[in-house]
Structure 1
Amino acid sequence: MPSASVFTAKSKVKAFFKAWPPTILLAFAWIALMLFLIAFGNLVAPQSYMAMDLRARLSEPFFMAGSFAHALGTDELGRDVLSRLIASIRISLTIAFLATLVSATVGVTLGFLAAYLRGRAEQMILMVIDAQAAMPFMIIALAVLAFLGNSLPLFTILLGFYGWERIARIARGLAISAQDQGYAAAVRDLGASPARVYGRHILPNIASTLLVSMTLNFPEVILLESGLSFLGLGVQPPQTSLGAMVGYGRDYIQSAPWIMLAPAAIIVVSTLSISLIGDWLRDKFDPTLN
């Protein structure tokens, strides 16, 4: 008969996979790989993503009888697809991360202002939120980039204004709820300034819910950046991004599909992983689901 230690080990394994489902572990592993490439991509890339070798143009990947010198093949200019893929991951995910931070900062700030000021000021902020939610952001982005031109800082800040209205609504609602609780009223009665009440006491208590909202907003920013870059309004040459690689590869989808399929697969798996992690964090930390 199995010993007690065997049953204990099995119960520990079941408890571990109940707390950390395999899909979530795979999602975290993928995100860790992406973070590693962002930090050390220059060391991992086999060559410069701008290096051209016209003699090796449109070389097949190694799994299609190609050479390991270009593991994922080359594009129409003989540039190594793997090297460009690593550079694209670094640029696209960095833009998405910075844009999400901008969106969270704008949303939390306006949400807290609405909760604190109340009255007409709150109504004005809510009108701005409703107006933002009613306008298709893709059209706004196309108009801004068409009139102001494109640069990487402007593009990142523009994407930072995507999704802030949802975070503002959440921050406002949670802040109003926190004001009615004892800890916020006690600190306020002790003479703390509004900035201290909201920054040091209310924000840490609602940070988990805001973090979940950010993780759900992050993959949407990745897809938006990819779509704008695909249209030629995002990251401009000689820099590259996942959406730009898909855009360049669409003309070679029949003769060299690996040019487009490699970045497209990265976009799909990355957005899926972050969405899974966001749903998991919501189930674990969102107090409204308890």
Structure 2
Amino acid sequence: MPRRIARSRRAVAGLVLLAALFAVAFGGPLLSRWGWDDTDFAAFRQGPSARHWLGTTQSGRDVLALTLRGTRRSLLIGLSVAVLSTGLAGLVGTVAGFAGGRLDRVLMWATDLLLVLPSFLLVAVLAPQLGGGGLVPLLAALLWMVSARAVRGTTVSLREREYVLAARFLGASPARVIVRHVLPQLASLLVVDASVNVSVAVIAESGLSYLGFGVRPPDVSLGTLVAAGQGAAATCPWPFAAAAAMLVLIVLAVNLLGDGLRDVLDPAAGQGRGDR
């Protein structure tokens, strides 16, 4: 598997870029003299300089430190949401597809019900009640349904395979059959789904924070930085541009990695690309 991933230029480019973003976001503050919550009272709304590499905000805070803080928050939220939503989709989809019958109908009915609920309205109502710590489970609860239906459909076909039927006839418990024989066949689908969900979660968190439903002051994320900097983007572009550029790089890295993993794990989907 590592060799196949190494032959995919998309996967390698996405992985390298994502690793670089993590290194900068988590290692950069160790090399900077400014913390994200520090204020330089001698430098209000100044451009990039040797003292402040990306300039300062109107309140005298270092743009580089704020951007790195926002990047860490967005990356951690994106990864946490992806793990939770993909795990929930895998659990519901495999249980529904393998069990069938009434349990399948109940789980899929609940999934369909959640799909038609207005997500933005739910976020607007629940986010203020849950606070900043509730953003991850809230986003995860809104991103798993489509993936669960895909997992359920694949599981329905897998449960009729000869090796699955043989394990069941030999007395293996449903949980053991799912863990030993079904989930390994779903690994590629779940891995690609998780990579896509990282990008979706980062964009969703940034959008919600931009609108005031996500990360709240005094903490920052890329969405809050974009919102704070857009008003003066014409005359003081560095706070807005730094956060927007970092957001674009995160989404680009995750999408490249997801496309590369899809090509590696599902070669039929990657035919004609010529990038492996």
* Same topology, TM > 0.5: yes
Q: Secondary structure at the match of 1:68?
A: coil
**Which of 191, 199, 222 is equivalent to 2:179?**
199
Pairing 1:116-127 to 2, within 5 Å after superposition? 116-127=98-109
Mapped to 1, the partners of 2:118 and 2:39 lie a distance apart of 39
Whether the 8 Å contact between 1:46 and 1:83 is mirrored in structure 2 is no
Residues 1:151 and 2:132 aligned together: yes
Unaligned 5+ runs, structure 2: 272-276
Deviation at 1:44, TM superposition (A): 3.6
Question: Residues 226-245 of structure 1: CA distance to partner in whole angstroms, max 9, x if unpaired?
Answer: 01111122111221111111
Distance in 2 (alpha carbons) for counterparts of 1:254 and 1:287: 46
- 2:259 and 2:118 mapped to 1: Cα distance? 25
1:1-290 alignment, distance < 5 Å: 19-21=7-9, 24-61=11-48, 67-146=49-128, 148-152=129-133, 154-286=134-266, 289=269
Q: Is the 8 A contact 2:26 2:68 kept in 1?
A: no
Please say if residues 53 and 64 of structure 2, whose CA atoms lie closer than 8 Å, have aligned partners that are also in contact.
yes
Question: How far apart are 1:33 and its partner, in Å?
Answer: 1.0
Distance in structure 1 (CA, Å) of the matches to 2:136 and 2:28: 21
TM-score (norm 2): 0.89
Unaligned stretches of 5+ residues in structure 1: 1-15, 62-66
Task: State the Cα deviation string for residues 218-272 of structure 1 (Å, max 9, x = none).
Answer: 1111110001111122111221111111111122212211111111111112112
Higher alpha-carbon deviation: 99-108 or 126-135: 126-135
Q: Structure 1 residues 59 and 263 mapped into 2: Cα distance closer, same or farther (>3 Å)?
A: same
SS across alignment from 1:180:
coil
**Residues 82, 140 of structure 2: 8 Å contact kept:** yes
CA distance in 1, matches of 2:221, 2:28: 14
Count of matched residue pairs: 266
Contact 2:8 2:260 in 1 (8 A): no
Q: In the aligned structure 2, how far is the partner of 1:117 from the partner of 1:157?
A: 26
Question: Which amino acid is the alignment partner of residue 92 of structure 1?
Answer: S
Counterparts of 2:29 and 2:142 in 1: how far apart (Å)?
A: 30
TM-superposed deviation, 1:191: 2.0
Please tell me whether the aligned partners of residues 123 and 213 of structure 2 are also in contact (alpha carbons under 8 angstroms).
Answer: no
Q: CA RMSD in A?
A: 2.1
Secondary structure of 2:42's counterpart equals helix
Provide the rounded CA distance (Å) in 2 between the counterparts of 1:27 and 1:176: 33
Indicate the structure whose relative CO is greater, using CA pairs within 8 Å and at least 6 residues apart. 2
User: Contact 1:58–1:76 at 8 Å: present in 2 too?
Assistant: yes
Post-superposition offset of 1:182: 2.1
State the alpha-carbon separation in 2 of the partners of residues 207 and 46 from structure 1.
Answer: 44
- The one-letter code matched in structure 2 to 1:107 is A
* Offset of residue 149 of structure 1: 4.5
Change beyond 3 A, Cα 1:185–1:39: farther
Q: CA deviation at 1:43?
A: 1.6
Residues 44, 58 of structure 2: 8 Å contact kept: yes
